Structure 1
Amino acid sequence: MNGGTGPEEPDFPAVTAARLDSLDRLDAAVTTCRACPRLVAWREDVARVKRRAYQDWDYWARPVPGFGPPDAPLAIVGLAPAAHGGNRTGRMFTGDPSGDVLYAALHAVGLASRPTATHRGDGLEPYGVRITAPVHCAPPANRPTPAERDTCRPWLARELTLLQPALQAVVVLGGFAWQALLPVLRQAGWELPRPRPAFGHGTQSTLRHTESGRELHLLGCFHPSQRNTFTGRLTPAMLRDVLARGAGLAGL
């Protein structure tokens, strides 16, 4: 599948992602990646030490793939899995405070089958939504390096390419994700406006695909981090409003 490039090699994501023709195959390949030594060491160390509340858990401790149907018209792009959230449960925004806020809002606007996300196989089903991130491994201090972001970029670019026939809108959670996503969208064939749209809560921009001519609506939203929700910078009502706008633009 990877033409001799092993999962530990820096070019593994770029070489492998380009050859995959389905999201199932992409998700499976993502979970094998070991291209960023710092992230591999961190995610596995967290899984060994564990948090006291999760001592009985068998941590996922691998890259976390995207979550949602392959024909989703709406995508949500975050930053990276949390050390004791997605890195523990193996699913995006599952098992951490940010995910608690996000899934409650998704359920409230009719985009998820239940308001809580606790583990893989908990029965939660997203409705027309694919949830992913530009970095698939939990980073120390929630801060991937630019090199780690760039190494991981081909996974997201291929994911967006495979979603492209149905994708109509993307809600981007936070400034890091916004800045990381723009070059990925360009790589996946979307033409960026000039000047490039700046991140802001409620920001909206429309892109056009260079081959298909399809439009893609890009919406900015503050990240549902504990800092943002505790300070009131992002309220549940604000998050629900952006998600509902995204759903409307996606025809959901």
Structure 2
Amino acid sequence: MDEARGTEAEELSAEPDDPAFPARRAPRCRSLDALDAQVVRCRACPRLVAWREEVAATKRAAFRDWEYWGRPVPGFGPPDAALAVVGLAPAAHGGNRTGRMFTGDASGDFLFAALHAVGLASQAEATHAGDGLELRGVRLAAPVHCAPPDNKPTPQERDTCRPWLAAELELLSPGLRTVVVLGAFGWQALLPVLGAAGWQVPRPRPKFGHGVQVTLAASDKSRPPLHLLGCYHPSQRNTSTGRLTLPMLVEVFGEAARLSGL
């Protein structure tokens, strides 16, 4: 009994700058609001903390009048979402500035235009956290919650942050039917999480590709299967070169909405 209490006390006393903070805190969260409150406290990755705070202090000239968020960016969307969208990480002058996932940058403009086109977002633009945007049956999530230098988290940073995503999907799991993964990084980060969360991931693991669709059976037969869809990330590089067009993105979300019953 005393040993059990000691372990629990150790978990609760984990400081935000402890590398074990996500692993100790995330599984104890019983709601998405509680999870989000812990996410924004996290300082487990020194390189990411230094970068996000440096960007928030120096700013971009176009946003010099903004007070940057400069903290981890939590997920966004209703707690009963049937569809999750998993990206990569917040943009330095997007989510790291506005405090909301995919808000305030070109990638977000592209993403929300597509979600709005299929009826999953109340408006086609996302400029700041208080702009009135509402998502319908969709939750935006990410494997990494802090803006990384050059948009490239390290494998260690991805793994340290993983418990937040695992807990988020676990909390969504009663109603979750579909996940759209934006880009290969998110795909590779997500598959181990889904396997640990009770979905059967095939061996060898399915490879990422735009339009790839995989149905994962649940280990618990009382739970429905999960539909996994791959989609190119709406980065400026992909959208400016035509690798990903708005009709392509609308098509993916239209299929995701159908599979999710939205």
Alignment of 1:84-123 (within 5 A): 84-123=93-132
Post-superposition offset of 1:117 = 0.1
2:176 aligned residue (157, 163, 167): 167
Post-superposition offset of 1:155 = 0.2
Q: Does 1:233 align with 2:243?
A: yes
**Alpha-carbon distance in structure 2 between the residues aligned to 1:4 and 1:27:** 18
Q: Does 1:249 align with 2:226?
A: no
Counterpart for residue 76 of structure 1: 85
1:210 aligned residue (219, 225, 228): 219
Aligned sequence identity (%): 70
Post-superposition offset of 1:194 = 2.1
2:60 aligned residue (51, 54, 58): 51
Residue identity matched to 1:68: G
Post-superposition offset of 1:4 = 1.1
**Alpha-carbon distance in structure 1 between the residues aligned to 2:23 and 2:233:** 27
**Alpha-carbon distance in structure 2 between the residues aligned to 1:188 and 1:203:** 21
1:134 aligned residue (100, 123, 143): 143
Alignment RMSD, CA only?
0.9
Post-superposition offset of 1:195 = 2.0
Q: Unmatched 5+ residue regions in structure 1?
A: none
Post-superposition offset of 1:213 = 3.4
Post-superposition offset of 1:3 = 1.5
Residue identity matched to 1:233: R
2:32 aligned residue (16, 23, 26): 23
**Alpha-carbon distance in structure 1 between the residues aligned to 2:218 and 2:162:** 19
Post-superposition offset of 1:47 = 0.4
Larger gyration radius, structure 1 or structure 2? 2
1:146-199, Cα deviation, whole Å (9 max, x unpaired): 000000000000000000000000000000100011011112221101221110
Counterpart for residue 152 of structure 1: 161
1:94-126, Cα deviation, whole Å (9 max, x unpaired): 000000000011001100000000000100000
Counterpart for residue 200 of structure 1: 209
Q: Unmatched 5+ residue regions in structure 2?
A: 1-8
Extract structure 1 runs of 4+ deviating beyond 4 A.
none
Residue identity matched to 1:249: L
Residue identity matched to 1:166: G
Counterpart for residue 4 of structure 1: 13
**Alpha-carbon distance in structure 1 between the residues aligned to 2:217 and 2:65:** 48
1:195-246, Cα deviation, whole Å (9 max, x unpaired): 2111000000011221243200000000000000010000000000001100
Report how many aligned residue pairs link the two structures: 252
Counterpart for residue 6 of structure 2: none
Residue identity matched to 1:163: L
